[in-house]
Structure 1
C-alpha cells in the first residue's frame, strides 16, 4: 500500500469490453442488484483492504460480500453509484489503475503459497511476474475474462480439481526444479511437458501468444481451441525447448491432503482457515477477520478456492481465542461443521436463471446431513454450476422451488455425473445422502 494518499480516480466514461462476467470496473446486473468482482493478487487481502470492502458493501450495496471459487471477492446488491464504489475500491489498492488490465488477472495460487511446509517452491515471486505480464501487455487484454492460469508450488493445501486454461506445477527432477504444465485441465491431470523454473515466465508468455495467434473469436477458452488444434501441435509451435521424456510424462502431482479449515501447519508457525457460511460474509465478519489478522497474525488473509480464507503467521498461543472470536461472528472454523460441506449458488432471489432458493435450501439441508455424508454437496440453481468449478461428490440440481435432481460424481460421465434420483424434496434428498455410497448406486 502506498504511503501517500491516492489521487481520486473516476470511473471510465467508456465501459470495458462487453462481458457477462463481473469485474471491478464492470458491474453486472443481477436480480438482487449489481455485482462487482474484486480479483485479488494470488488471493491476498490486507486487513485494511478487508475493512474497505466491508465499508463499500455497506455504503454502496446491500452489505453482501461473497468469496468466489477462484479465491476472489465480490460485492452483491450494488445500487446506482457505481463510480463511488469503484473509486473506493481503487483507493484501497484493490484493482488496476486501468480498466483494460482488470479482466486478465486470473491467476490462482494455494492460500498457503510461500508458507506450506510441503511446498517444493515459493511461487509468489513468479506469480508477481506473471501478474505484471498479464496486466502490462496490451495484447493479453484480449483474453476472455474467464481465461485462467494456475501456479502450483506442490503445497499440501492446494486445489487440484479446478480446470484452468494453463496450469503449471513445480516438480523436482535430477535435483533441479522444473515446472510441469498442461492445457485446459488441472495439476491432477497428465502433464504435457515441462520447462526449467527459470523459463516459467517465458512459457506463460509463449502459451498466451500462441493461443491468441490460433484462436478464432469464438474460441475464448483453451478447451475450445484444443477441439480444433491438438495439444501436440500447440506445443510444437511455442518456440521453446519443452521436456517431454518418460520421466516427465510419468510424473503425477501428489494428491493434496490438507483440510482448509481450522489450525493449519505452516513452514514456520501456524495458519488458521475460516469460511463464511455458504460463501457469504457480512461486513461485521470481514471487520472481525481484519482485527484478528492484525492482533494474532501478520495483518493479511488469503482467499481460497474453497470459498474460505486463511490467516497466515498466527501466534499458536492465540489460535483458539481467534477461533472463538470468529465463530462468535458466525464464521465456520472447523471441518466437522455441517455447513462446511455444502456449497450453494446465489439462488432465485439473486439470479433469474435459478430454479430454486439454493442458499435457503442449503441451510435446511445442513440439518439433515449426518456425519459420513459426501465430503461436499453442491446445490446448483441451474446447469451453469456457478458456485463450483469442478464436480462435487454429490450435486443437487434445482428443477423447481424446493425440488432437486440428485447426481453423484462419476468419472465416466460428463457434467455433474450420474443421475441417481429426480424431483426430490429436501427431506428426500437428505435421506438419500445419509445412505452409504454403495446404496446410492442401487
Structure 2
C-alpha cells in the first residue's frame, strides 16, 4: 500500500462529542485522537511496538492511558488516518479476528480521494466501527493473578467480548455503554459507574455473580468508623458463572427493547421503567430464573486497594510478582512504550496491563527480578509509590489539546505536583465540567474557570457533580495551600 497517495474516507459520520475509536478519529486542537481498545486492558509487547511506531509515523508520538484501561494516540496528522488505522488493524488491535477481513478492511479505509465508497465498503466500515465501539468491558488488571480474587474472570470476559461483537443488534448501543466484570480482586476499580456490573460473591454452594444496574457494586466499610464506605447500587440477583454471558445478553437485549430513542445509558432506562419491570423483561430471554435473594439486599463487596497498582506485589502463583508504575498524568511517548515492552519481554510474560488509574502493570515477574524492574520503571519516569505526587494527580488534555478547556491542565498539574501536600489523597484537574479524565469523583477536583485559575471542589455525597465547591478562582499556589488546610481538617475551606 502506498501511504503517501492514500487519503482517509470517514467511515462513520462524526457526532458532536463522539468518543474516539479505532475508526472514529476525532479532531482535537493537537490533531486527531485514535482510541485503541484493549481486551481486559492487556497489550502484548508486539502490539505495544506497533502502537509506538504508528504514533511516530502518523501522529505526534503522544500515547495516553485512558480511565478505562485503553490507549489513545493523540496528534494524528491529517491525511495519515487510513495508514494509522491499517497499521493498528494489521497488528491485531481491531475487533476480534474473524469478524472483519483484514485485507478488505485495509482497502476500505485507504480509498483514493477520487473513489466513492461502495455499498460493501460502507457495510464493512460500519460493522468494524460497531464491533469496536461495544468493547467496553472492564476487569481487574490483575485478573487471574490476584491472591484475593474469588474467581478468574478472564475466560468469562473473552466470552462476553465475543458476544458484544458478534450480536448485530448491539451495534445500536452507545459507545459509552459499559460493563464491569469483577472477580473480587483486591486490585480493582470500583468507583467508575457502569451500565451493568457483575461481581463475584462467595456462597455456600460456590461462587455466584451478583449484578446491578447503572452504578457501582456496594463496597463494605474499610473500618468500623465508616471511612471509605461506598454505597453503590444494590445487587438485584445472583447467577452461576456459566450463566453470566446469557445474563449479559438478556440485559442488553432488554435495554434495546425498552429504551427510548434518546436513552443511551441504563440510568436513562431506569428513570422511565421500574427495576422490577426491567428484570421481568430480562427473564423472557433466559432459561433460568432470576431469583431475588433477600440476603443480597445487604451484600457488600470487600474493599479494594488501588495502591496495589504501584510497586511490586506477590501474585497468586508462588514465586511470581507484578510490578506497576504511573506515567506522568497518564501520558507515554513512543520510546517509553517500547522500553516498557522490552522490560515485559525480559522480565515478565511479554504483556503490559493498562489500568483504569492510567497506570501500567507488568505481571508474572520472578521474585529476584522485581527490584530491577522497578528501577527500570522509575528510570522511565514512572511513579512507583502511591506517595509520589504524580501518582495522586489526574488531568485532562487541557487547552493545548481541547477547545473546551479553560486552562492548560497538564502544565498546571505538573506545577501542582511540586507543591502537593503529602496528606492529599488525589486531585483531579478538569478543564471543563465534562470531566473527561475521570469517570469517578476524586476526593478533590480543581475545575478550570480561566487560564491558571480553578474552583476547588471537595467530594461530598450530598452534592452532585464534583461535590461541594469550597473555594473559587484559585491559582495553583493558592489551591495547594487550600488542599493542605482541607487535608488537616475536612471542615476548613
Please give the TM-score of this superposition, normalised by the length of structure 1. Answer: 0.95
- Pair 143,331 (structure 1): closer, same or farther in 2 beyond 3 Å: same
> Aligned ranges for residues 142-221 of structure 1 at < 5 Å?
142-188=172-218, 189=232, 190-221=234-265
Cα distance, 1:233 vs. partner?
Answer: 1.3
Match of 1:296 among 333, 343, 347: 347
Residue in structure 2 matching 1:419, options 466, 469, 477: 469
Q: Quote the offset at 1:328 in angstroms.
A: 1.4
2:487 corresponds in structure 1 to 437
Instruction: Give yes or no for contact 1:284–1:329 (8 Å, CA) kept in 2.
Output: no
Give how far 1:297 is off: 0.2
Give the equivalent residue in structure 1 for 2:118: none
- 1:17, distance to aligned residue in structure 2 (A): 5.2
Match of 2:330 in 1: 279
Residue 83 (structure 1) aligns with:
82
Write the distance in 2 (CA, Å) between the matches of 1:196 and 1:65.
Answer: 39
Structure 2 distance, partners of 1:321, 1:417, is 41
Please identify runs of 4+ aligned residues in structure 1 that moved more than 4 A: 10-14
Q: CA deviation at 1:370?
A: 2.0
**Which residue is 2:313 aligned to?**
264
Pairwise CA RMSD: 1.4
Give the equivalent residue in structure 1 for 2:406: 355
SS of equivalent residue, structure 1 residue 310: strand
Answer yes or no: is the 8 Å Cα contact 1:11–1:87 preserved in 2. Answer: no
Cα deviation, residue 49, structure 1:
0.5
Moved more, 175-184 or 352-361: 175-184
1:13 CA drift (Å): 5.1
Could you say if the C-alpha distance between residues 41 and 12 of structure 1 is closer, same or farther in structure 2, counting changes exceeding 3 Å?
Answer: farther
- Map of 1:6 onto structure 2: none
Identify the residue that residue 131 of structure 1 maps to in structure 2: 161
**Greater Cα offset, 416-425 or 18-27:** 18-27
2:437 aligns with one of 383, 387, 411 = 387
- Contact map agreement 2:53 2:334 (CA 8 A) in 1: yes
Answer yes or no: is the 8 Å Cα contact 1:151–1:169 preserved in 2.
yes
The structural deviation recorded for 1:243 is 2.8
Structure 1 residue 124: Cα displacement: 0.6
User: Are the counterparts in 1 of residues 45 and 344 from structure 2 also a CA contact under 8 Å?
Assistant: yes
CA distance in 2, matches of 1:99, 1:160: 28
Q: Secondary structure at the match of 1:112?
A: coil
1:436 offset after TM fit, Å? Answer: 4.5
TM-score normalised by length of structure 2: 0.86
- 2: CA distance, partners of 1:440 / 1:402: 25
Structure whose CA Rg is larger:
2
SS in structure 1 opposite 2:391? helix
Residue in 1 that maps onto 2:279: 235
State the aligned residue count: 432
Aligned equivalents of 1:154, 1:31: Cα separation in 2: 40
1:123-171 Cα deviation digits (max 9, x unpaired): 0111000000001111001100000011000000000110000010011
Contact 2:191 2:216 in 1 (8 A): yes
Q: State whether residues 66 and 356 of structure 2, in contact with CA within 8 Å, keep that contact through their aligned partners in structure 1.
A: yes
Does the CA-based 8 Å contact 1:11-1:86 persist in structure 2?
A: no
> Which digits, 9 at most, give the CA deviation of each residue in 1:367-404, with x for residues without a partner?
1112112x110000000000000100000000000100
Per-residue Cα deviation, 1:388-436 (whole angstroms, up to 9, x for no partner): 0010000000000010000000011110001100011110000111125
Of stretches 144-153 and 221-230 in structure 1, the one that deviates more from structure 2 is: 221-230
Contact 1:378-1:395 within 8 A present in 2 as well: yes
Task: Report the Cα distance in structure 2 between the residues aligned to 1:399 and 1:376, rounded to whole angstroms.
Answer: 20
Instruction: Find the counterpart in structure 1 of residue 12 from structure 2.
Output: 16
| Stretches of structure 1 lacking an aligned partner (at least 5 in a row) | 1-9
Of 29-38 and 168-177, deviating more is 168-177
Q: Which whole-Å CA distance do the structure 2 matches of 1:256 and 1:367 have between them?
A: 28
Contact 1:193–1:249 (Cα < 8 Å) also in 2? no
The one-character-per-residue Cα deviations of 1:233-288 (angstroms, maximum 9, x if unpaired) are: 11121114113222222211111025111112210110011121001001111011
Q: In structure 1, what is the Cα distance between the partners aligned to 2:377 and 2:10?
A: 42
Partners in 1 of 2:85 and 2:275 — Cα distance? 40
Structure 1 counterpart SS, 2:272: coil
Q: Deviations over 1:50-74 (max 9, x none)?
A: 1111111100000100000001000
1:3 corresponds in structure 2 to none
- After alignment, is 23-32 or 240-249 more displaced? 240-249
Q: Contact 2:20–2:35 (CA<8 Å) still a contact in 1?
A: yes
Equivalent residue number for residue 93 of structure 2: 94
Contact conserved, 2:182 with 2:198, CA < 8 A, in 1?
yes
